[in-house]
A and B are shown apart, each in its own frame.
Chain A
Amino acid sequence: MTGQSGLTSRRGFMRAGLAAGVALPAIATMARAQGGPDPLITEVQDWARYLGDGVDASPYGMPIRFESDVIRRNVSWLTADTISSINFTPIHQLDGTITPAGCAFERHHSGAIELAKPDYRLMINGLVERELIFTYEDLERFPRSQGVYFCECAANSGMEWAGAQLNGSQFTHGMIHNMEYVGVPLKTLLAEAGVKLEGKWIFVEGADASSNGRSIPIEKAVDDVMVAFKANGEALRKEHGYPARLVVPGWEGNLWVKWLRRIEVTAGPVESREETSKYTDTLANGISRKWTWVMDAKSVVTAPSPQVGIKHGPGPMVITGLAWSGRGAITRVDVSTDGGKNWSAARLAQPGAPMAMTRFYLDHVWNGEEMLLQSRAVDDTGYVQPTKTALREIRGENSIYHNNAIQTWWIKKDGSAENVEVS
């Protein structure tokens, strides 16, 4: 074809430019700054002339390479190793409420194990009429339920108790994900085994070495707990408990036992390591709360935030964030731009749903001055998200878990943002 060589070399130049970073936008910006036409419009671009990928190029797709920074991140100094550790969901770059499974946070105690469906067994034993073994195929034959729920690590925001420490909502609030689950109600499985009258608790454990055993009162077990095998439409990811995990709406993430292998009906709590040594909350006087299962109402502004500065200068902008409550639905989120002196009700993208994430927006006109951004969630019990000062007055600074305090971002005149505390 005529002109092919010239076009090919131009294409090579464009590729090189893109690979080098922002050559093309810079050229375009320069042209526009001089009042000239935008070459991205006036010149035919490669993607408007040549062909894109075929439908066989990626049977299971990944995000486009320009989004390669939207990833889980690890904070290496938090834990002794990366096996019994945590990573963080990039909530600062997400919108809406559903967390893509591929970047939804992980927390393991003995690593993410590989457990195939044919090797999967689920045991129900203890104070039941019939001790039973289910295969994975058995689980799929029970009537199913579906629900969208947040899973928040009890330690989410735990590094912030003693002060402002990590610069970014991913790190301060990213031990959380929100997915649409499909599975079997736990009460259906318990009915199959027949719970005896003296069965007041269940003890659940995973197939991994850590087991992550936890005790749950039977009232919660037969209310809304689910044995889930699908999340966001597909099988659970390996790191999220494939092929089956417990979903415990509104309750701390540690109870959401992954790679679930056994449900024991018991007369009393087992008081396992994960509910004595860990997931107990020490108060200032040295006494510790135990069985702090529910995650209270909480919110955070995800953008602008330290990882997402304002780059467009003064004028119209979107302030957005997430709110959630383990005790019901979010009914309102207030936003302050002046550190809590004055508040205005944000717009909820959808009405709040019980024990699920809610997206809020405040459409704002920024005057270019400093802001102290805060958000404050209210749930349908009337509970209002407290300040960190108010929580510290009751608990002190050593409870590690259950920090649902109001977060402040200091937005500076240059549009950059920092994690701060205010009076």
Chain B
Amino acid sequence: MLKSRKAAALLIVLAASSAAAQTQVPQTDAEPAAVQSFGLGRPALPEEVAAWDKDVSPDGTGLPEGFGDVATGEERYLEHCAACHGDFAEGLDNWPALSGGEGTLDRADPEKTVGSYWPYLSTVWDYVHHSMPFGNAQILTADETYAITAYLLYSNALVEDDFVLSKDNFTEIEMPNAAGFVEDDRADVEYPIFTAEPCMENCKESVEITMNASVLDVTPGDDSAAPDAATEDGTAVAPVN
């Protein structure tokens, strides 16, 4: 990471008032000078900021006024979401499951859903509001998003069927896996172990092949066609979705 002294110096520079003179940041030949202002761009109007700045943080920052209940959420969900995610948010085909998987995170095949994995409800609201339905995003009103979020809570057995979610009670909801995350600790846990002069000669007594990719046979051929037995044996991993 960065040397904090350098970062602090830069922050002071960036926070300087517009009256400040040119910065004193040391620079290489490859780096242009960061002068205070080029006078480029124009002020963003409040309507423009409101149109694009819609993200919601875990403490509720960014939440608009509004509310929605589970029953309304179920209606909207069946209309916009169930075709991919299933009537009960259980997921269809390869589309993501949004419910279930409780208690599976330490198992061989963890099932990560809103209920079992997601740490913050704010992310559900924000992501649904900005990026769903898939292929027709940004059509949901704030109230519809509250309602669908309430339905997803219900589908994960986290609220009763008469629950009403609103801006006012939003941050009272604690997700089951909120405490399930730690900040990147590789610097403490891994780097000391992996920063040692490595063995160069006679490092092992013997070498045995323990796994073969050809056994699975899931690599696309030259025609890029789907392999016949894709994930039948359960060993294939789909890392992106």
> Is residue B117 contacting chain A, with contact meaning CB distance below 8 A?
yes
Assuming A165-B216, A384-B198, is B131 touching A110 (CB within 8 A)?
Answer: yes
Which residue of A80, A145, A168, A223 contacts B94 across the interface (Cβ within 8 Å)?
A80
Question: Given A138-B41, A276-B119, A277-B117 in contact, is the A421-B209 Cβ separation under 8 Å?
Answer: yes
- Asked if B55 is at the interface (CB within 8 A of a chain A CB), the reply is yes
Determine if A317 is an interface residue (Cβ-Cβ < 8 Å).
no
Q: Is A220 an interface residue (CB 8 A)?
A: yes
Is A235 interfacial (CB-CB < 8 Å)? no
In contact, B240 and A133 (Cβ under 8 angstroms):
no
Taking CB atoms and an 8 Å cut-off, the chain A residues in 264-283 that contact chain B are: 264, 266, 268-273, 276-277, 280, 282
8 Å CB contact of B30 from A133, A146, A286: A146
Residues of A within 8 A of B33 (CB): 143
Residues of A within 8 A of B220 (CB): 73-76, 171
Contact partners of A142 in chain B: CB under 8 A: 32, 38, 40
- The total number of A-B Cβ pairs within 8 Å is 340
Which residues of A have CB within 8 Å of B36? 191
Q: How close is B219's CB to chain A, nearest CB, in angstroms?
A: 4
User: Is there a chain B Cβ closer than 8 Å to A93's Cβ?
Assistant: no
* Beta-carbon nearest neighbor of A111 in chain B: B135
Check B55–A203 contact: CB distance below 8 A.
Answer: yes
In the assembled complex, the Cα of A372 lies from the Cα of B231 at a distance in Å of 27
> Does the CB pair A132–B239 fall under 8 Å?
no
* Closest beta carbon of chain A to B52's beta carbon, Å: 5
Q: A421: nearest residue on chain B (CB-CB)?
A: B211
Interface residue range, chain B: 35 or more
Take A271-B119, A276-B119, A342-B202 as given contacts and tell me if A167 and B207 are in contact as well, using a CB distance cutoff of 8 Å.
no
Interface string of A396-416 (1 = CB under 8 A from B): 011011000000001000000
Q: Are A194 and B182 in contact (CB under 8 A)?
A: no
Restricting to B1-41, which residues have a CB under 8 Å from any CB of A? 1-2, 4, 6-7, 10-11, 13-18, 23, 30-38, 40-41
Q: Say yes or no: A401-B239 contact (C-beta < 8 A), given A164-B213, A195-B14.
A: yes
Cα distance, A195 to B20, chains bound together (Å): 13
Q: Is the CB of A271 within 8 A of B123?
A: yes
- Is B172 an interface position by the 8 A CB rule? no
Interface residues on A, range: 35 or more
Specify which chain B residues have a CB less than 8 angstroms from the CB of A39 in the assembled complex.
none
Q: Does A161 contact B (CB under 8 A)?
A: yes
Binds B, one of A1-9, A55-63, A122-130: A122-130
CB distance from B2 to the nearest CB of A (A): 5
A418 touching B130, Cβ below 8 Å: no
Contact between B207 and A84 (Cβ–Cβ < 8 Å)?
Answer: no
**Contacts of A84 on B, CB cut-off 8 Å?**
134, 240-241
Q: Please name all residues of chain A whose beta carbon is closer than 8 Å to the beta carbon of B238 when the two chains form the complex.
A: 77-79, 159
Does chain B have a CB within 8 A of A419? Answer: yes
Complex: A287 Cα to B236 Cα, angstroms: 22
Q: With the chains together, A149 CA to B237 CA distance in Å?
A: 28
**Residue A31 lies at the interface, judged by CB distance under 8 Å to chain B:** no
Is the beta-carbon distance between A223 and B122 smaller than 8 angstroms? no
B190 within 8 Å of A (CB atoms) = yes
A99-158 contacts to B, CB under 8 A, are 107, 109-110, 123-126, 129-134, 138, 141-147, 153, 155, 158
Q: Which residues of B contact A293 (CB under 8 A)?
A: 184
**Which of A155, A159, A168, A384 is close to B194, meaning CB atoms less than 8 Å apart?**
A384
Who on chain B is nearest to A84 by CB? B241
B64 partner residues in chain A, CB cutoff 8 A: none
7 interchain residue pairs of minimum CB distance: A143-B32, A158-B239, A286-B106, A339-B207, A286-B105, A80-B94, A419-B213
Interchain residue pairs with CB less than 8 A apart (30) = A76-B220, A78-B238, A80-B94, A80-B241, A123-B48, A129-B17, A130-B43, A132-B41, A132-B43, A146-B30, A158-B237, A164-B211, A166-B213, A185-B34, A209-B130, A210-B131, A213-B126, A213-B130, A220-B2, A222-B11, A264-B55, A270-B56, A276-B118, A276-B181, A288-B180, A291-B183, A385-B194, A386-B190, A394-B190, A401-B239
Q: Show the binding face of B for A, using Cβ within 8 Å.
A: 1-2, 4, 6-7, 10-11, 13-18, 23, 30-38, 40-44, 48-49, 52-53, 55-59, 93-96, 105-106, 108-110, 112, 114, 117-120, 122-123, 126-127, 130-131, 134-135, 137-138, 180-186, 189-191, 193-204, 206-214, 216, 218-220, 222, 224-227, 230-231, 235-241
